[in-house]
């Protein structure tokens, strides 16, 4: 174990109190490493509390692993709510982390990752060490290891498919990594029985969240905006059709009774896509948000303080597919939410493809791709000539690569690429960034409802609202959701 370590960003006294009381609000926000055992744990670990002199605190599981500590078998660090990207101080590191979450270092090299975020390898390693206490490769290795453990314990997948699903290049490397971390091979680590509840042909994964979490409000938000045939909100939760790595499928997300988690019921043929799908679903429902940090940021604000106190579980509703969300946003310009939903359903039915993945009838359509809409006669579906031209222009820009929904790009670059297109202004661009890229600081300042609510009886100008919103950085997108909700 390394004697040197990067101090946890959370105050050590707060960490100590949370560890002693097993405070679930801090679960996944830091990890406790014990020098006498060489093991790192979640702050909610049920094991007897070690002496304070033997404890080290780390921001992430990767930082603890980089210092030479092994994950605890009892509290299962892989079952903790995901470490939020809020730990990253810069957009560059945040973008690199998003790529790593999606498997960039499973399939590619560190040099390729550095090139995608626009820096050299050495500089990227330096930034990761400064901000996260672990290198990009160590972060990726920890992600693979913990996701593999989750697949071992929560699914019936064969060992070979577990290795593939977790991102390992070979079964040998997987066996070596598991044995090094837990001192036993995967087959011994796996429980003799895996409880998945009801009989199903789906792969079921537990996606933990950090309390408080307002799942009902998220479902209500999605229910008003679902594209019939492509997605649906049911009594159980949310489900939709998907296509990943060229293969169609579908999933459903449900609440888990008496547990701080959602259950992802996934129907997709490619085991290698499991990690990517899980990450995208987590982002859709903002499961890695830190309510404590948001409460701290807004508590002293006269406008947002009462709102975050009233709705402490507010999340940022994401989207499964960036292009689909962008089309939906353009369709929603200057019309009601219900009208935009009707138009989106017509576009999906006319130009999308049937979902062959034995999906339920309400998610039996795959939303059309950019290539399918680039030349589509959308006016035939009731769109105005200008709106149809905007969607075709957007689709063509995506086909040509002038607009992309890459997770590593900055908010400014993404907005600039969109507003360069005819018919897309700053409001639409920021709304798309807020939901398609989960950009926490996106802020559609021209929104009339925001200007009215923030004006407390007066209607602010866009410039006035922009000025006011400076105090809410870098969480302005969450401010948007609270203010919309207050209206």
List active site positions: 41, 447
- Alpha carbons within 13 A on the beta-carbon side of 318: 21
Which runs of consecutive H residues, i.e. helices, occur in 264-376? 274-284, 291-298, 305-310, 322-331, 337-351, 370-373
Burial class of residue 188, CB neighbours in 10 A (0-12, 13-18, 19+): exposed
What is the Cα–Cα distance from 431 to 332, expressed in whole angstroms? 11
Provide the β-strand partners of residue 58: 31
Rounded to 10 deg, the angle between the 411-419 and 426-436 helix axes is: 130
Please report, for residues 244, 404, 411, 420, 423, the alpha-carbon distance to residue 415 in angstroms, rounded to integers and kept in the order given: 25, 11, 6, 9, 13
What is the Cα–Cα distance from 65 to 77, expressed in whole angstroms? 11
With residue 221 as reference, give the H or E element that holds it.
Answer: helix 215-225
Cα angle 441, 104, 41; round to 5: 75
What is the Cα–Cα distance from 181 to 65, expressed in whole angstroms? 9
Instruction: Give the chain's count of helices (H) and strands (E).
Output: 23, 11
What is the Cα–Cα distance from 218 to 380, expressed in whole angstroms? 33
Burial class of residue 337, CB neighbours in 10 A (0-12, 13-18, 19+): exposed
What is the Cα–Cα distance from 246 to 230, expressed in whole angstroms? 17
| Token code pair at residue 216 | 């009902």
Instruction: Tell me which residue has tokens 């939903």.
Output: 341
């Amino acid at each position: 174990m390394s004697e040197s370590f990067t101090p946890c960003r959370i105050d050590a006294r707060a960490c100590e109190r949370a560890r002693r009381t097993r405070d679930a609000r801090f679960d996944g926000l830091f990890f406790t490493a014990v020098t006498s055992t060489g093991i790192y744990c979640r702050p909610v670990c049920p094991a007897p509390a070690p002496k304070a002199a033997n404890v080290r605190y780390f921001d992430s599981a990767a930082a603890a692993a980089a210092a030479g500590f092994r994950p605890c078998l009892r509290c299962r660090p892989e079952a903790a709510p995901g470490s939020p990207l809020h730990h990253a101080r810069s957009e560059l590191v945040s973008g690199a982390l998003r790529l790593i979450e999606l498997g960039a270092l499973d399939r590619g090299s560190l040099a390729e990752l550095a090139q995608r975020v626009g820096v050299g390898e050495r500089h990227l390693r330096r930034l990761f060490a400064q901000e996260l206490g672990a290198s990009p490769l160590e972060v990726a290795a920890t992600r693979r290891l913990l996701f593999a453990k989750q697949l071992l314990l929560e699914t019936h997948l064969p060992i070979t498919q577990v290795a593939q699903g977790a991102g390992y290049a070979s079964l040998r490397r997987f066996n070596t990594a598991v044995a090094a971390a837990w001192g036993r091979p995967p087959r011994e680590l796996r429980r003799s029985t895996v409880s998945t509840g009801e009989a199903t042909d789906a792969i079921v994964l537990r996606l933990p969240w950090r309390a408080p979490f307002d799942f009902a409000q998220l479902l209500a938000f999605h229910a008003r905006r679902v594209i019939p045939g492509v997605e649906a909100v049911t009594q159980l939760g949310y489900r939709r059709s998907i296509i990943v790595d060229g293969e169609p499928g579908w999933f459903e997300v449900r609440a888990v009774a008496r547990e701080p988690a959602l259950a992802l019921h996934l129907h997709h043929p490619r085991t290698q896509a499991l990690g990517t799908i899980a990450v995208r679903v987590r982002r859709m429902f903002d499961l890695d948000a830190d309510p404590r940090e948001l409460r701290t940021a807004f508590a002293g604000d006269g406008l947002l303080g009462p709102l975050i106190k009233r709705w402490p579980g507010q999340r940022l509703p994401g989207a499964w597919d960036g292009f689909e969300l962008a089309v939906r946003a353009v369709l929603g310009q200057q019309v009601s939410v219900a009208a935009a939903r009707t138009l989106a359903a017509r576009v999906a039915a006319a130009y999308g493809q049937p979902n062959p993945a034995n999906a339920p009838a309400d998610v039996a359509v795959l939303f059309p791709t950019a290539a399918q809409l680039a030349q589509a006669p959308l006016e035939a579906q009731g769109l105005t000539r200008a709106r149809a031209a905007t969607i075709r222009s957007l689709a063509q820009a995506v086909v040509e690569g002038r607009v992309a929904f890459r997770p590593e790009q900055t908010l400014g670059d993404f907005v600039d690429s969109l507003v360069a297109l005819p018919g897309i202004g700053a409001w639409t661009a920021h709304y798309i960034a807020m939901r398609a890229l989960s950009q926490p600081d996106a802020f559609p300042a021209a929104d009339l409802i925001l200007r009215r609510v923030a004006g407390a009886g007066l209607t602010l100008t866009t410039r006035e609202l922009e000025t006011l919103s400076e105090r809410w950085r870098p969480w302005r997108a969450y401010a948007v959701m609270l203010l919309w909700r207050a209206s």
